[in-house]
Amino acid sequence: MKLFRNILIVAFSIFVFCQHLAAKPFDDPDSIAQLGVHYQEDLSKYRIKASSIQSLSPDKTTVGSAGATNMEGSTDGIIPNNTDNSAVEAALSVLSQANDNLKTMSGHRVLVHSGTDKEAAERAVNDAQKAAYGKVGDRPRMDYEAPNYKVRMGIYLNRVKAYQVCKIIAEKCPTAIVTNEPVSLNHIISLYKKYGKL
């Protein structure tokens, strides 16, 4: 009960104070000073004037190492451009050279079959083609990596897309899995140029 009474007293005090503020005009400097606001300064001299920016034509502006100035030597209304990008250009050059040295990148493929039996691998190719027909744009490919025949499908940079294809293929080939494999960048670029997407 005591807490409720204290809350009512505080609320009433705030209400009375707000009524007092609403009754006093803020145009009067004395009423502002009574509220404890003593800061008064004309800040208009620091504002950029639109007319001074628009009046400068590009032929009257020069850019030097200290920033932009007009022909009269004044810097009023001109924003400096600070165009020393040599450090950024050097870093981009190093990054570009490092990218040129890349030959492969991490990708995802669907491994449909892996085993020593060539006939089983050929059956896996046929089953994967039947499962993917009309649903997936990729065709399965059989490679021989001694001593195994591996049937792989697709090159995906996105793991989610690889799992979607794997789920479709798993209807006919239940042993299909998604593998992480290095993929040739030249191969990715040629696929992108051919199909427009990966």
Encode pLDDT of 144-161 as tens digits. Answer: 998 999 999 888 888 998
pTM for the complete prediction?
A: 0.48
Between 65 and 156, the more confident residue is: 156
Rounded to whole angstroms, how far apart are CA atoms 163 and 21? Answer: 66
Task: Give the architecture-level CATH label for domain 105-195.
Answer: 2-Layer Sandwich (3.30)
Between 23 and 90, the more confident residue is: 90
Mean pLDDT of the chain, nearest integer: 76
Residue 100's pLDDT band (cuts 50, 70, 90)? confident
Q: What is the pLDDT of residues 115-151, one digit of tens each?
A: 999 999 999 999 998 888 877 767 889 999 989 999 9
DSSP-based three-state secondary structure for 49: coil
Residue 21: which H helix or E strand, with range?
Answer: helix 2-23
Between 83 and 89, the more confident residue is: 89
Counting beta carbons within 10 angstroms of the beta carbon of residue 94, is it exposed (0 to 12), middle (13 to 18) or buried (19 or more)? Answer: exposed
Residue 38's pLDDT band (cuts 50, 70, 90)? low
pLDDT attached to residue 66: 46
Rounded to whole angstroms, how far apart are CA atoms 198 and 161? Answer: 9
For residue 63, pLDDT beyond 90:
no
Between 45 and 117, the more confident residue is: 117
For residue 64, pLDDT beyond 50:
no
- Percent of the chain at pLDDT above 90? 21
DSSP-based three-state secondary structure for 112: strand
**Largest Cα span, the chain:** 100
Between 67 and 31, the more confident residue is: 31
CB 109 within 8 A of CB 179: yes
Structure tokens of 186?
A: 């030249």
